[in-house]
């Protein structure tokens, strides 16, 4: 039986459903007086908003607004999510300190192992000449387009790529 996480089409359906739901209103109680940032744009992921983001459509993708996350890498072992902002064109991963996602404890990852690039609305993963290679859904790749829901393996680290 296929798992929801294994099927990119299921991820697309879930993302479409979530983008079509109306956000909840902010609470009016004084308990939250210092919690809200008045400069926060509507549509911010992880916060409550008062209006749907511009460009959203019923069942379709939304246009990310400044300050929102366009995608993230989810580590299912540690439950850590690493955001890739909508203005970000390059996201590097590896053991080295200069990477956006440092995999310091993964001895099988290269210092500069792989990168995710964004071109328009499309994301790609590219191996940077690593020793052990980069896998997408279990297949060794030099470069591959990401549609959302894929499992990336860098060294021993497995990450799920999720479009928001």
Tell me which H or E stretch contains 115. Answer: strand 114-119
Cβ atoms of 134 and 127 within 8 Å: the answer is yes
- Paired tokens of 156: 């021993």
Cβ atoms of 66 and 41 within 8 Å: the answer is yes
| 46: exposed, middle or buried (Cβ count in 10 Å: 0-12, 13-18, 19+) | exposed
- Paired tokens of 141: 């790749």
Q: What percent of the chain has pLDDT over 90?
A: 42
- Paired tokens of 100: 């956006």
Return d(Cα 116, Cα 89) in angstroms, integer.
8
Q: What is the pLDDT of residue 2?
A: 52
pLDDT digits (tens, 9 = 90+) for 92-148: 999 999 999 999 889 999 999 999 999 888 899 999 999 999 999 999 999 999 999
Pairing relation of β-strands 151-154 and 114-119? Answer: unpaired
Q: In 3-state terms, what secondary structure has residue 16?
A: helix
Return d(Cα 55, Cα 63) in angstroms, integer.
5
More confident residue, 26 or 8: 8
Cβ atoms of 128 and 120 within 8 Å: the answer is no
Mean pLDDT over 34-52 rounds to 41
Tell me which H or E stretch contains 9. Answer: helix 8-20
**Whole-model pTM?**
0.58
What separation in angstroms does the CA of 26 have from each of 39, 51, 137? 14, 10, 39
More confident residue, 146 or 63: 146
Among candidates 52, 81, 46, which has minimal Cα distance to 160?
A: 81
Mean pLDDT over 23-42 rounds to 46
Return d(Cα 15, Cα 61) in angstroms, integer.
8
């Amino acid at each position: 039986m296929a798992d929801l996480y294994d099927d990119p089409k299921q991820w697309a359906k879930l993302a479409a459903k979530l983008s079509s739901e109306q956000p909840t209103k902010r609470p009016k109680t004084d308990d939250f007086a210092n919690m809200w940032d008045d400069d926060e744009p509507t549509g911010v992921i992880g916060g409550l908003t008062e209006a749907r983001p511009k460009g959203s459509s019923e069942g379709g993708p939304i246009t990310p607004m400044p300050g929102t996350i366009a995608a993230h890498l989810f580590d299912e072992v540690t439950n850590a999510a690493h955001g890739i902002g909508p203005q970000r064109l390059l996201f590097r991963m590896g053991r080295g300190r200069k990477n956006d996602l440092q995999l310091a404890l993964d001895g099988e990852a290269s210092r500069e192992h792989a990168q995710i690039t964004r071109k328009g609305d499309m994301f790609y993963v590219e191996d940077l000449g690593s020793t052990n290679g980069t896998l997408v859904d279990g297949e060794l790749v030099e470069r591959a387009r990401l549609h959302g829901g894929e499992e990336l393996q860098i060294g021993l680290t497995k990450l799920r790529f999720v479009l928001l």
